[in-house]
């Protein structure tokens, strides 16, 4: 039984990183800092010290209320143990969390080139007495200066807490021993000003769609295309409904009208959630050379091939709505020109209305008119990780009252930024990729399921063992070429 | 003993129900058989090989000989038997997400049935009543039911293609071949091993592998 009160989230007690995609609030720079707790008392003192800096999910109602930097914190299971959290509470965590992602590598497909032994050194040498990652602190800011200032503020806490140690060993900038993971949005090229989303190293506009959930406080119009499909036109509000907050946050009802399983007592876990931290290297050289070689033989060329991989053109236009490069380019050109005017406050009411109409087309789709995958292949990245109504395979009478019945309980929140610079994109071995953080209330049903069944497997899409062409684990052959397969 | 063979999982669930309830349940089964649209959601779940519901009366249980003690069964029983691809959770959750009303009408007033939503009590109900599989064999361990259907389609289409192009000109052959590829594009994906859906199952596999190889 749920009540109306369940639809109101205690945003002041939920961390900002859960509720807000910071890049949408003008925070293009981040640092991810890891700590180990040697002395529980010092660990607790550190947590008390950093608490006033923690950014909450309270809505920023006007630009003046947006801080210059946002800080958030997450703990590993061992971290909580080293804070002396009671065993009774620790036992309430899921196996997936208490085991940690390394131990779950066979489930999530972190094998071969993705095996933990290839992860950054900070994750190595883990033993009961050795180095352990206990705390993750994320700092997002408007610029490097703001992030640096907050970073210094946090490190100053360590003076009083020598039993908390900052862990180095993150890879980047030619070093294997960085004291933190730097990340930053990739600045758009002049000709890409106003494009939707930020760019990642393969050249795709990214972060276009995010999950809209009950009580998140965002503009209600953002529910269109960003949440669970319901009966109704997917281009309008009638086609979508917010996902239940309990899918993403402890202490609220989920899509099955239950409170997600969480450790007790309720005060300990309510408003918390699970956050998955992954650093994904991008093989830009292999990707570009593959596109060049195969794109020469593919109708539409390399850009069309890149679009088939992602389900979006590299400029962000969804393939299911804009099947040709010409239509996608025309659409994005109009959208980005209007976007610049809106940002500058120079858009007329008519232009603003047109902008809203165009912006909706970025996300307002459910694959109902592309049931055979003729436009967007079944195996395209965005169709896999957010299938919307696609798992009905065009059978509109199936799950008629709940078109997203097979996908609504797999929704997650995506956070994070690209890291590094691919200054030599012809090579794979630079330090560049994406730090992705995934927020969900059930690691097994949500993150692990999507990672295993939808990214590193294909049966739900009737694609046998084919994997996601982008984040799938395609292994490497003897000549260091990946061995993936995709039907387009 | 394993419920898993290759990509397939076998599930048997036996739940008691009262005599009077069986009459209604039989009627529901009959109606579902007559109106295929009522099971459309089930059919669309491509992870399922098949699912079957059978009502057993007390006298239907085998009595193999006088040495087998007689049982005094108070209820009828509903046997649910299904083979599917994926994990137990994926299967059970798919059922309750997509056809909650169908499940609730099939199980209706079976003893202590909880309804398919909320999910956790439903999970407990299924787990409590599941009979673990002693022997399970899979002729095509690397194939899911989707893969088998695709393979059948590819085979039949290839046979038809070979027949229809036996005397085709090279140009016509090429044209028809391209058409064939287009029609089969969703059936040409690559089969492989099942992903590791359970660390316990994979640990058992590794142990058995070691035993077969004579490694301690």
Q: Which of B99, B131, B163 is the last residue of a domain?
A: B131
Same domain, B121 and B160: no
Higher pLDDT, B5 or A12: A12
- Compute φ and ψ for A130, nearest 5 degrees: -90, -155
Residue A462 contacts B, CB cutoff 8 Å = yes
Residue A412 three-state SS? coil
pLDDT per position as a tens digit, B67-103: 999 888 999 999 999 999 988 899 999 888 888 888 8
Alpha carbon distances (Å) from B3 to A4, A80, B182:
42, 36, 37
Residue B60: inside a domain: yes
Interchain CB distance below 8 Å, B44 and A463: no
Grade residue B128 by pLDDT with cuts at 50, 70 and 90. Answer: very high
Q: In this structure, is residue B196 part of a structural domain? A: no
Task: Write the pLDDT tens digit of every residue in A305-336.
Answer: 999 999 999 999 999 999 999 999 999 999 99
Residues 20-79 of B with CB under 8 A from A: 37, 40-41, 43-47
The pairs formed by A425-429 with CB atoms below 8 angstroms and a separation of 24 or more are: A425/A201, A425/A284, A425/A285, A425/A288, A426/A284, A426/A285, A426/A288, A426/A289, A427/A284, A427/A285, A428/A283, A428/A284, A428/A285, A428/A286, A428/A480, A429/A285
Query: Which residues in chain B touch residue A256, judged by CB atoms under 8 angstroms apart?
Result: 96, 117-120
| Residues B115 and B82 grouped into a single domain | yes
Confidence of residue B213 (pLDDT cuts 50, 70, 90): confident
Residues B173 and B97 in one domain: no
Residue in chain A nearest B122 by alpha carbon: A256
Q: Give chain B's domain count.
A: 2
* B15 and B63 both lie in a single domain: yes
**Contact residues, chain B, for A453 at CB < 8 Å:** 86, 90, 195
Q: What mean pLDDT, rounded, does chain A reach?
A: 91
ipTM of this model?
Answer: 0.91
Beta-carbon contacts of residue A273 (< 8 Å; ≥ 6 apart): A18, A248, A249, A250, A439, A440, A441
Rg of chain B (C-alpha set) = 23
Q: Please tell me whether residues B71 and B155 are part of one structural domain.
A: no
Same domain, residue pair B30 and B79: yes
Are A274 and A261 in contact by the 8 Å Cβ rule? The answer is no
- Are A462 and B44 in contact (CB < 8 Å)? no
Q: Do B150 and A462 touch (CB under 8 A)?
A: yes
Residue B27 lies in a domain: yes
Q: Of A479, A159, A195, A140, nearest to A337 (Cα)? A: A195
For A403, phi then psi, to 5°, come to -60, -25
pLDDT band at B202 (very low <50, low <70, confident <90, very high): confident
Q: Which residues in A428-470 belong to E strands, given as ranges?
A: 432-440
- Same domain, yes or no: B42 and B122: yes
Within-domain flag for B213: no
Which of B85, B117, B196 is the closest to A106 by Cβ? B196
B57 within a domain of the structure (yes/no): yes
What confidence tier does B155 reach under pLDDT thresholds 50, 70, 90? very high
Interchain proximity B186–A487, CB inside 8 Å: yes
- Whichever domain contains B35, its CATH number is 3.30.70
**B76, B172 contact by CB (below 8 A):** no
Res. A237: pLDDT tops 90: no
With contacts defined as CB-CB under 8 Å, which chain B residues touch A257? 117-118
Q: According to the per-residue pLDDT averaged within each range, which of A6-20, A31-45, A200-214 is highest?
A: A31-45
Instruction: Tally C-beta pairs within 8 A across A and B.
Output: 103
Mean pLDDT, rounded, for A185-201: 87
In the three-class reduction of DSSP (H, G, I as helix; E, B as strand; rest coil), residue B160 is classed as helix
**For residue A62, is pLDDT > 70?**
yes
CB contact B94 to A (< 8 Å): yes
**If you search the block for the tokens 């190293």, which residue do you land on?**
A201
Contact B147 A464 (CB under 8 A): yes
Q: Is the residue at B178 inside a domain?
A: yes
Q: Which residue is it, tokens 């798919």?
A: B94
Residues of B in contact with A299 (CB under 8 A): none
B125 to chain A: which residues are within 8 Å by CB? none
Q: What pLDDT band is residue A224 in, cutting at 50, 70 and 90?
A: confident
| Distance (Å) from the alpha carbon of A464 to chain B's nearest alpha carbon | 5
Residue that is written with structure tokens 């109708």 in the block: A299
A455 pLDDT exceeds 90?
Answer: yes
Per the structure block, which two tokens stand in for B149?
A: 């259907």
Using an 8 Å CB-CB cutoff, list chain B residues near A373.
Answer: 186
H-helix segments, A427-480:
449
| Entry field: residues in chain A | 488
- Write out the residue range of the structural domain in which residue B153 sits: 145-187
> Does the residue B103 lie in any domain?
yes
B197 touches chain A (CB under 8 A): yes
A169: alpha, beta or left? (left if phi > 0; alpha if psi -120 to 50) = left
Please indicate, yes or no, whether residues B183 and B84 belong to a single structural domain of this protein: no
What tens digit of pLDDT does each residue of A125-142 get?
665 455 589 999 999 999
Would you put residue A266 in left (φ > 0), alpha (ψ -120 to 50) or beta?
alpha
Asked if the structure places residue B77 within a domain, the reply is: yes
Is B85:B144 a contact under the CB 8 Å cutoff?
yes
pLDDT at res. A482: 63
Cis, bond preceding B118 (omega within 30 deg of 0): yes
Asked whether the beta carbons of residue B202 and residue A453 sit closer than 8 angstroms, the reply is: no
- The whole-number average pLDDT for the span A97-116 is 92
- Find residues 367-396 of chain A whose CB sits inside 8 Å of chain B: 372-373, 378, 392-393, 395
Residue of B35, B36, B42, B44 to mutate when probing chain A, most A C-beta within 10 A: B44
Of the pLDDT bands very low, low, confident and very high (cuts 50, 70, 90), residue B46 is: confident
Answer yes or no: do B126 and B151 share one domain.
no
Chain B interface includes A457 (CB < 8 A): yes
Do B74 and B149 share a domain, yes or no? no
Q: What is the pLDDT of residue B35?
A: 83
Closest approach of B99 to chain A, Cα-based (Å)? 7
For residues B101 and B173, state if they share a domain. Answer: no
| Residues B163, B127 within the same domain | no
- The model's confidence at residue B40, banded by pLDDT at 50, 70 and 90, is confident
CB atoms within 10 A of CB A387: 21
Task: Determine the distance in angstroms separating the CA of A37 from the nearest CA of chain B, rounded to an integer.
Answer: 29
């Amino acid at each position: 039984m749920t009540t109306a009160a369940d639809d109101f989230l205690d945003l002041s007690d939920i961390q900002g990183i859960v509720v807000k995609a910071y890049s949408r609030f003008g925070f293009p720079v981040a640092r991810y800092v890891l700590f180990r707790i040697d002395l529980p008392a010092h660990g607790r003192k550190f947590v008390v010290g950093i608490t006033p800096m923690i950014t909450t999910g309270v809505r920023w109602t006007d630009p003046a209320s947006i801080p210059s930097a946002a800080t958030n914190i997450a703990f590993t299971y061992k971290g909580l143990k080293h804070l002396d959290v009671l065993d009774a509470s620790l036992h309430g965590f899921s196996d997936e969390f208490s085991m940690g992602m390394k131990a779950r590598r066979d489930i999530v497909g972190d094998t071969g080139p993705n095996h933990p032994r290839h992860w950054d050194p900070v994750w190595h040498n883990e033993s009961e007495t050795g180095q352990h990652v206990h705390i993750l602190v994320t700092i997002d800011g408007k610029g490097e200066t703001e992030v640096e200032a907050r970073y210094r503020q946090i490190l100053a806490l360590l003076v009083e807490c020598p039993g908390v140690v900052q862990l180095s060993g993150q890879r980047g900038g030619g070093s294997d021993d960085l004291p933190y993971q730097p990340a930053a949005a990739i600045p758009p090229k002049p000709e890409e000003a106003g494009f939707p989303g930020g760019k990642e190293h393969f050249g795709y506009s990214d972060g276009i769609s995010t999950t809209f959930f009950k009580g998140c406080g965002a503009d209600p119009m953002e529910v269109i295309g960003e949440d669970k499909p319901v009966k109704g036109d997917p281009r309008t509000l009638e086609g979508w409904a917010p996902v239940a907050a309990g899918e993403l946050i402890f202490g609220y009802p989920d899509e099955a009208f239950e409170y997600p399983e969480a450790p007790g007592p309720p005060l300990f876990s309510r408003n918390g959630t699970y956050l998955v931290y992954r650093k994904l290297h991008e093989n830009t050289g292999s990707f570009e050379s593959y596109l060049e070689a195969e794109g020469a033989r593919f109708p539409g060329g390399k850009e069309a091939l890149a679009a088939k991989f992602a389900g979006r053109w590299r400029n962000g236009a969804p393939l299911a709505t804009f099947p040709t490069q010409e239509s996608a380019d025309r659409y994005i050109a109009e959208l980005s020109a209007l976007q610049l005017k809106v940002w500058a406050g120079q858009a007329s009411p008519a232009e603003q209305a047109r902008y809203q109409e165009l912006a909706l087309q970025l996300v307002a789709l459910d694959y109902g008119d592309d049931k055979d995958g003729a436009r967007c292949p079944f195996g395209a990245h965005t169709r896999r990780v957010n299938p919307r109504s696609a798992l009905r395979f065009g059978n509109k009478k199936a799950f008629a009252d709940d078109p997203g019945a097979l996908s609504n309980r797999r929704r997650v929140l995506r956070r994070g930024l690209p890291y590094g610079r691919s200054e030599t994109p012809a090579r794979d071995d630079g330090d560049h990729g994406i730090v992705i953080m995934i927020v969900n209330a059930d690691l097994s049903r949500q993150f692990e399921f999507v990672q295993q069944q939808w990214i590193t497997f294909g049966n739900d899409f009737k694609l046998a063992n084919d994997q996601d062409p982008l984040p799938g684990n395609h292994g490497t052959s003897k000549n260091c070429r990946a061995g993936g397969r995709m039907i387009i | 003993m394993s419920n898993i063979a290759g990509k397939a999982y076998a599930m048997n669930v036996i739940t008691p129900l009262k005599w009077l309830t069986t009459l209604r349940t039989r009627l529901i089964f009959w109606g579902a058989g007559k109106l295929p649209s009522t099971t459309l959601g089930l059919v669309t779940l491509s992870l399922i090989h098949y699912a079957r519901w059978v009502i057993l009366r007390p006298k239907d249980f085998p009595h193999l000989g006088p040495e087998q003690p007689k049982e005094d069964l108070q209820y009828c029983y509903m046997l649910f038997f299904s083979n599917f691809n994926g994990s137990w959770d994926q299967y059970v959750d798919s059922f309750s997400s997509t056809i909650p009303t169908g499940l609730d009408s099939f199980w209706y007033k079976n003893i202590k049935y909880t309804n398919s939503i909320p999910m956790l009590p439903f999970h407990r109900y299924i787990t409590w009543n599941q009979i673990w599989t002693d022997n399970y064999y899979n002729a095509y361990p690397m194939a899911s039911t989707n893969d088998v259907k695709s393979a059948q389609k590819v085979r039949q289409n290839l046979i038809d293609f070979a027949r229809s192009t036996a005397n085709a000109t090279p140009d016509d052959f090429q044209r028809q071949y391209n058409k064939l590829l287009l029609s089969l594009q969703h059936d040409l994906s690559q089969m492989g091993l099942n992903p590791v859906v359970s660390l316990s199952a994979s640990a058992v596999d590794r142990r058995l592998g070691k035993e077969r190889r004579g490694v301690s």
